Amino acid sequence: MSTICAHGLGYIGLPTAAMFANYDNDVIGYDTSTEVISQLENGEVHFDEPGLRAFVTQALESGNLSVSDEVVPAKYHIICVPTPFDDDAKEPNLDYVEAAGEAIAPHLRTGDTVILESTVPPGTTVATLQPALEESGLSAGRDFALVHCPETVLPGNIITELRQNNRIIGGVNGVSTEAAVRLYESFVEGEIRTTANATTAEFVKLIQNTFRDTNIALANEIAKLAADYEIDSREVIDLANDHPRVNIHQPGPGVGGHCLPIDPWFLGQGSDQLELISTARDVNDGMSHYVVELLEGELGSLNDAKIAILGVAYKGNVGDTRKSPGLALAQELQERTEAAPNAVADGGEPSDVELALTDPHVEDQTLSLEPLSEALQGADAAVITTDHDEYADLDIGAVTSSMRTPRIIDTKDILEPADWDRDQIDLIRL
Ligand code: SAJ
């Protein structure tokens, strides 16, 4: 049994704490939110993730996991706190990482190990966390072990990926790295790879998400090019990927979530070399504008049009709306409406768009979501922005009868074109 104090019981910290507990480690989960603590004490999990509730319950009932609103001394401290991103300044806020270090310092003892799992700009473990911990009077690498061990799990499949993914561990020295390896060996079934230092581990994590974001930008550009050549982008990508060394991702209405649209900017915190990476970000952010242009092309004018947006979650089968492409599209259309008076004054077309948002996975009172049937009622176009399973089985008859003009823009390639062709529905794919 190891004694672990897990700092931050969010999307990563909670499943990680439960995982260690379910593999026979003695874990205390700490969070600054008393609401999170009391929910967990009542057996409730404060966010949606398949299988997590049962997994956490198992850990709590075994007695291996308990929660606390105070930091406790522990052989291992694992930090999974948020690193919120300021979109305008393109800078992450590392205050929570620093605060975690400061909270641990009074409890730190010789021989302990501190592990940072939060996604951070390269250099943060050493430049931000280490000094906060050394307020204890102990020295990293000599008196206590300090490492970065990035999480790489996919929302929607967190528990499986926690166990099965390879893990990267980079310590401030070899002794630190080894201490963390011994701990993660308790449940990781994938390979544990060690790096030369903590900064390398931080960098690798960012590069993984940057690879995916940049690759999707290429796919999005391919989609726009294919449209100009009047060919099918999905067929092009599928065929191109037949090559043994080609792996192009899929185009879509933009890249959402709290990782891919943000992490690439972290690389620019200590370097001014972002070129391709920042252009890729712009390409992906520009997709909502491209979808608006598609709509205008199809409808002629957006004036007085009703547009239904199918999916405000950032990706299929999750309920998370952070940086949602569906919401970005809604905002872009909304801004058209708000800009309309100026457009008229400038001799342009007024654009009064009626928007209807729907999503079977999202529960958010602030979004005025409607049931699918109501959103489609009288609509001139329905844009599928999220590949929820529910949309693959869209009832063609219901769509045809309830929309003003049966027209679907499928940005996620979730519908079967042959089915819709047969019923002569206007189906536009990205
Ligand atoms: N998307 C596309 N085209 C694709 C694949 C995805 O447009 O071909 C879009 C999705 O629709 C979504 C966005 O990208 O809007 C991000 O979705 P995702 O499934 O690619 O990734 P996340 O943000 O849910 O999780 C990522 C994962 N990173 C990688 O696969 C490299 C996950 O493993 C990380 O742990 C996670 O970020 C994280 O926490 O950093």
Residues 6+ apart with CB under 8 A from 95: none
> Ligand 1, from 260, 263, 391: best to mutate by most atoms within 8 Å of Cβ?
260
- Tokens 């009868």 identify what position? 401
Confirm if 144 and 111 have CB atoms less than 8 A apart: yes
Instruction: Tell me the whole-structure pTM to 2 decimals.
Output: 0.94
Which residue's CA is minimally distant from atom 40 of ligand 1? 259
Largest Cα separation within the chain, whole Å, is 74
Q: Please state, in angstroms and rounded to a whole number, the distance separating the CA atoms of residues 382 and 403.
A: 9
With 0-12 / 13-18 / 19 or more C-beta atoms within 10 angstroms meaning exposed / middle / buried, residue 273 is exposed
How many angstroms does the Cα of residue 260 sit away from the middle of ligand 1? 6
Q: What is the pLDDT along the chain (430 residues), one digit of tens a residue?
A: 679 999 999 999 999 999 999 999 999 999 999 999 999 999 899 888 899 999 999 999 999 999 999 999 999 999 999 999 999 999 999 999 999 999 999 999 999 999 999 999 999 999 999 999 999 999 999 999 999 999 999 999 999 999 999 999 999 999 999 999 999 999 999 999 999 999 999 999 999 999 999 999 999 999 999 999 999 999 999 999 999 999 999 999 999 999 999 999 999 999 999 999 999 999 999 999 999 999 999 999 999 999 999 999 999 999 999 999 999 999 999 988 776 555 545 555 556 899 999 999 999 999 999 999 999 999 999 999 999 999 998 988 888 889 999 999 999 999 998 888 777 788 999 9
Q: Give the span between the Cα atoms of 421 and 410, in whole angstroms.
A: 13
Q: How far apart are the first and last CA of the chain?
A: 52
User: Residue written as tokens 């690389």?
Assistant: 267
Q: Sketch out the chain's domains with CATH numbers.
A: 3-197 (3.40.50.720), 233-429 (3.40.50.720)
For residues 101 and 168, give the distance between their C-alpha atoms in angstroms, rounded to a whole number.
21
Q: Give catalytic residue positions.
A: 205, 259
Alpha carbons 333 and 361: distance in angstroms, whole number: 22
Contact 276, 349 (CB under 8 A): no
| Separation CA 12–CA 52 (nearest Å) | 11
**Using CA atoms, how far apart are residues 390 and 311, in angstroms rounded to an integer?**
10
Ligand 1: which residues within 6 Å by Cβ? 119, 151-155, 208-209, 212, 216, 249-250, 252, 255-257, 259-260, 314-315, 325
Place of tokens 């009932």: 61
Among residues 117, 126, 9, 127, the alpha carbon closest in space to that of 59 is found at 9
Between CA 106 and CA 263 the distance in angstroms is 31
